[in-house]
Amino acid sequence: AAEQLSKAGWLLDMEKLILGNSIGEGEFGAVYEGEYMGKKVAVKNIKCDVTAQAFLEETVVMTKLQHKNLVQLLGVILHNGLHIVTELMAKGNLVNYLRSRGRSVVDVKQLLRFSLDVCEGMEYLESKKLVHRDLAARNILISSENTAKISDFGLAKAEPKSTDNAKLPIKWTAPEALKKEKFSTRSDVWSYGILLWEIYSYGRQPYPKMALKDVKEKVEQGYRMEAPDDCPPVIYTLMRSCWESDPSKRPSFRKLREKLEKEHRDCKST
Ligand code: ADP
């Protein structure tokens, strides 16, 4: 993987990197803001060599992706484990963004804009035959210009492979993926429905107050979340369509995008 990245020009120079403050804590390493040749960047440092190797292989996938709604990889540095350099998303993740600002700051049109941004990014991933597997508001980052972009391709895989069930984000994962490990773009659509619910509830935890094991059981029996307060009925209908038990009955990201675009056109800023 290192050789592949090097040949394609994705290896960056540690000397040219200016590291700044810590801006986040990931599961596998701290995230810092910084500057690389005059450009503001975010840097994730993975110190563990075994983890670093796995991430290095995933960055090879990332080098092939470019879209306005995906967090752009800028390169990697092989120093002290692995440094992954991406564009800086100045306003942090979507959950914190919505929770800290709330209804008085973020209007319905902005919620729709975020929903559409994520949908467009997913439509692009779908076109590349990539399944994200961990689509959730915590993995959506906001730029200084309020554009939402998808990050964390940690679990993204070209081919549906078996994963460790214990690590699955239960509240976001489609029933067939939880039960039979059937991950597909349609299981990403399910997660997208949960993400819509998170957006319209201004960053609430899905299935509030429900234990994980109850969620799995209840959802399989047909239970679905209620609409968030003040959620437009059209949007709640979209969520429910993403949560069809039969994956083939769920809409595609393209269909979702078309519907959201229409809503966005008709939506007035408040
Ligand atoms: P993990 O997936 O291992 O939990 P993340 O990659 O999600 O770690 O990073 C953890 C946190 O760091 C994010 O929630 C976000 O607040 C911050 N962060 C990550 N990448 C960036 C970035 N490119 N720009 C700004 N902040 C970031």
Q: How far is CA 256 from CA 112, 161, 207, 239, in A?
A: 12, 26, 23, 10
Confidence of residue 1 (pLDDT cuts 50, 70, 90): confident
The mean pLDDT value of the chain amounts to 93
Work out the average pLDDT over 34-58. 91
Closest to 193 measured CA to CA, from 215, 172, 175, 169: 172
Model pLDDT for residues 110-165, shown as the tens digit of each residue? 999 999 999 999 999 999 999 999 999 999 999 999 999 999 865 555 544 455 66
Residue 187 CB less than 6 A away from ligand 1: no
**CB of 23 shorter than 6 A to ligand 1:** yes
Instruction: Specify the range with the lowest mean pLDDT, choosing from 6-20, 156-170, 205-219.
Output: 156-170
Ligand 1 contacts CB of residue 24 (under 6 A): yes
- What's CA 167's distance to the chain center, in Å? 16
Q: How far is the CA of 197 from the centre of ligand 1 (A)?
A: 21
What does the pLDDT average to over 180-193?
96
Give the DSSP letter of residue 172.
Answer: G
Q: Of all atoms in ligand 1, which is nearest to the CA of residue 25?
A: 10
CB of 94 closer than 6 A to ligand 1?
no
Q: Report the nearest-CA residue for atom 4 of ligand 1.
A: 26
40 among the known binding-site residues?
Answer: no
Q: Is residue 58 predicted with pLDDT exceeding 90? A: no
ipTM: 0.96
Residue 143 makes CB contacts below 8 A (sequence gap 6+) with: 87, 89, 90, 91, 149
**Catalytic sites, residue numbers:** 134
Give residue 26's pLDDT band: very low, low, confident or very high (50, 70, 90).
Answer: confident
pLDDT digits (tens, 9 = 90+) for 64-104: 999 999 999 999 999 989 999 999 999 999 999 999 999 99
Instruction: Select from 201, 135, 203, 144 the least CA-distant residue to 169.
Output: 135
246 lines ligand 1 (CB under 6 A): no
Residue 245 has pLDDT above 90, yes or no: yes
Tell me which of 25, 31, 83 to substitute to probe ligand 1's pocket, judged by most ligand atoms within 8 Å of the beta carbon.
31
Q: Which residue has the least CA distance to atom 18 on ligand 1?
A: 24
Tell me which residue of 186, 191, 171, 205 sits closest to 239, measured CA to CA.
Answer: 191
